[in-house]
Structure 1
Amino acid sequence: MGTANQVEAELTAFVHDPAGLHAELSRRAVAETCTYADTYYDDADRGLAGRGLKLRVRRISTGEVLLTFKEPAIDADGSKPEHETTAGSAETLHTVFTALGLRETAALTKHCTNYRFTHDGRALLATVAEIAELPGRTFLELECVTGESEVREALQAIKQVLGDLGLHDLSTVSYLKQISGSAGRSR
């Protein structure tokens, strides 16, 4: 992602049969496994979060480092303009952010199996995720990067795939809020 009009249309569902889901997704695509170590940054007053913004550094077990900036959601499903780029060093980003007055506000570890496939002409990424800080739970994140004018159609394709997979228990609260003890479902 990177251009201003790119939006991440994504829905997250609770998975009650991980083995069955992996089997079904393996019929659609080759599995890619990795671990993400995510660190979120904000100022002392949580001004970014207060404006619906997120700044994340992701270390991937493959050695890649991603810097991600998410803007506020543009719809009720939580679709957000997202800007992402590779970075050479998470430590350098940490140094810059702290020098600018930002601090680490949260961290989580995601054990992921990714499946990339197309549905209805759209490139989808299905991530089966287990969050170390939420033991015993498995989630499916299903996303499509699209232009802002096509978010509704992308979400319809995502909902169709979720239905085809038998996943109807959608989550509505972020993983971070779930980890911090907020009530409700998590994403």
Structure 2
Amino acid sequence: MIEAELKARVHAPEAVMRMLDERAEARVEVYQDAYYDRHDGSLEKADQELRVRTVHGADGLRTVLTFKSAAVDEESGSKPEHETRVEDSEAAHAILRGLGYVPVIAFEKRCRNYDFTARGRQMLATLVRVPELDGTFLEVETLVGEDDVTAALDDIRAVLADLGVGAEDLTRETYTGAVAAQRR
């Protein structure tokens, strides 16, 4: 499946949060993300990502292992995504290190997630704060087949517009890149 996704900087986060609260119940979670690569950086060079995410939420703790292939849509950066839950986060990290992957960067994301249906699609909207970065971000995504990416992105743009977020607010900046730049 392709994670069709757009990310924007939000200039009025409280207003967007109120509008999202009208659509769905919020799920407040903190993500601990750790990204891995090969020693030669070949995953990054190939526009691929390997991540272990531990999610702290009201329902407890869960860990997810994710691999994202190279972007299939250059404008949005939407990527094929393969994800699975793992029982033991420490074991997941140990397995990746044992296979020769090295930790590249780790950081925290504070998220307010909303699951809802819009334009006939199951969507996830996430208001994001990364303590090391200025500002609030909004991600809106839906999972689709490769032949449906363009239409899905149009539907996401419509949802963003309904939330008062325009094309000028969209960004392809990655959290990994922004956090790394902040730490330099």
Of 172-181 and 53-62, the range deviating more from structure 2? 172-181
Q: Which residue of 2 aligns with 1:15?
A: 10
Q: Which residue of 2 aligns with 1:170?
A: 170
Give me the CA root mean square deviation: 1.0
For the pair 1:84 / 2:83, whether they are aligned, the reply is yes
Amino acid at match of 2:177: K
Length, aligned pairs only: 176
Amino acid at match of 2:9: F
Structure-2 separation of matches of 1:24 and 1:97: 40
How do 1:47-86 and structure 2 match up within 5 A? Answer: 47-61=42-56, 62-76=60-74, 77-86=76-85
TM-score w.r.t. length of structure 1: 0.91
* Structure 1 portions without partners, runs of 5+: 1-5, 183-187
**Is this contact kept in 1: 2:105–2:180, CA < 8 A?**
no
1:180 is paired with a residue whose SS is helix
For the pair 1:31 / 2:43, whether they are aligned, the reply is no
Structure-2 separation of matches of 1:85 and 1:59: 12
Stretches (4+) displaced over 3 A = none
Q: Which residue of 2 aligns with 1:139?
A: 137
Structure-2 separation of matches of 1:154 and 1:35: 27
Q: For 1:29-53, what per-residue CA distance to the aligned partner results, in whole angstroms no more than 9, with x for missing partners? A: 1111010000000111111111111
Structure-2 separation of matches of 1:37 and 1:132: 12
2:113 is paired with a residue whose SS is strand
Q: CA deviation at 1:109?
A: 0.5
Percent identity reads 42
* Structure 2 portions without partners, runs of 5+: none
TM-score w.r.t. length of structure 2: 0.93
Amino acid at match of 1:153: A
Structure-2 separation of matches of 1:70 and 1:116: 21
2:23 is paired with a residue whose SS is coil
How do 1:89-100 and structure 2 match up within 5 A? Answer: 89-100=88-99
Structure-1 separation of matches of 2:137 and 2:82: 23
1:127 is paired with a residue whose SS is strand
